[in-house]
Amino acid sequence: MTDSDYPESYVNTHWVAGHIDDPRVRLVEIIWGASPVFGKPAYDNQHIPGAIAWDFESDLQDSVRRDVIDQTGLEALFSRSGVTPESTVVLYSGLNNLLATYAFWLLKIYGHSHLSLLDGDRQKWLDEGRQTTQENPLVTPTSYHAREPDWSLRSSREDVLGSIDEANHLLIDARSVEMYSGLDKAGAARGGHIPGAINLAALRETNPDGSFKAWRVPTVKAGGTFKSAIELQIMFDSLGITADKELITYCVRGGLSTHAWFVLTQLLGYPKVREYDRSWAEWGNSPDTPIVTGEQPYAEEC
């Protein structure tokens, strides 16, 4: 595959290597706290030259409101990161880019025009033995003004409730089979899935001691890069996930589901896809939301 075969929404490692010193490009690694594998320690140890770090929780979410950052927060983040409306922001992370696709979805809401994902994630860059650094880049702050947010890309709990049993709506559960079935509650009070949801099943890999290692998603190849559009279309068609329906993606906290959202909207061009980013963390802890375990749906009383 050559550079010209890539849509604007994602770029390969060769492209990034050729644009490390391009002042029009801002590389961003999305990290998660103090995780030694995909958090600040990993970034500090080695990252792509020129890449700055944004934390999934402290930079992209508002801990007080327990919501995504608002427009003011987004503008402050972009301004201190040296981003202008003309900048091409290239996002990447560990975990098959699950943190990066969340950031991509959020920045799409706020209308940043030039936005790409590094195909293959952080590990792809490292596996190819490409240049890394421990140095933090020098950044010249800007004064960024975001567009009015496009909330049509986001689904609320009420939107999900209204979509259940609607013939032209379809819910996509991007979690594991164990979470979908209810065997694993994913840290919530209740386990199962939203009625009518189709499982685009991810595989949870563990270390020998049983601790979490990685998520493997069905939309990427063994090396971490995306499957071809033909392969992806065949897979979604086989699940009945078609472009004529209004789709809502969800998972536990928005990582797996924004990855599915990215594939559907940016690689396959599905026109009507919303992300329910509060996902099971909200739905599974709400006492009155309908849930299916096995075959029978139920809704617990308050």
> What pLDDT digit, counting tens, does each position of 261-287 carry?
999 999 999 999 999 999 999 999 999
Q: What is the pLDDT of residue 206?
A: 86
Average pLDDT over residues 208-231: 92
At 195, the amino acid letter reads: P
Residue 251 annotated in active site: yes
Query: Are 104 and 34 a contacting pair, CB within 8 Å?
Result: no
Q: Output the CA–CA distances (angstroms, integers) from residue 200 to 222, 254, 257, in the order listed.
A: 17, 14, 9
> What pLDDT digit, counting tens, does each position of 168-200 carry?
999 999 999 999 999 999 999 999 999 999 999
How far apart, in whole angstroms, are the C-alpha atoms of residue 130 and residue 13? 9
Bigger pLDDT: 27 or 299? 27
One CATH from 3.30.230.70, 3.40.250.10, 3.40.50.300, 3.40.190.10 for 3-150: 3.40.250.10
Residue 59 has pLDDT above 60, yes or no: yes
Residue labelled with tokens 């986001």: 154
Task: Band the pLDDT of 150: cuts 50, 70, 90.
Answer: very high
Q: What is the pLDDT of residue 7?
A: 67
Residue 63 has pLDDT above 90, yes or no: no
Residue of 251, 252, 260, 264 with catalytic role? 251
Q: What is the pLDDT of residue 214?
A: 87
In the chain, residues under CATH classification 3.40.250.10 are: 3-150, 154-298
Instruction: Using a pLDDT cut of 70, give the percent of the chain over it.
Output: 95
Which tokens hold the place of 287? 């006492």
pTM: 0.94
Q: What is the pLDDT of residue 299?
A: 39
Query: Are 31 and 38 a contacting pair, CB within 8 Å?
Result: yes
Mean pLDDT of all residues belonging to the chain: 93
Q: Which long-range contacts link 2-11 to residues 24+ away (Cβ below 8 Å)?
A: 6/119, 7/266, 7/267, 8/114, 8/116, 9/104, 9/115, 9/116, 9/117, 9/262, 9/266, 9/267, 10/116, 10/117, 10/118, 10/119, 10/226, 10/266, 10/267, 11/90, 11/116, 11/117, 11/118, 11/119
Q: Which fold has domain 154-298?
A: Oxidized Rhodanese; domain 1 (3.40.250)
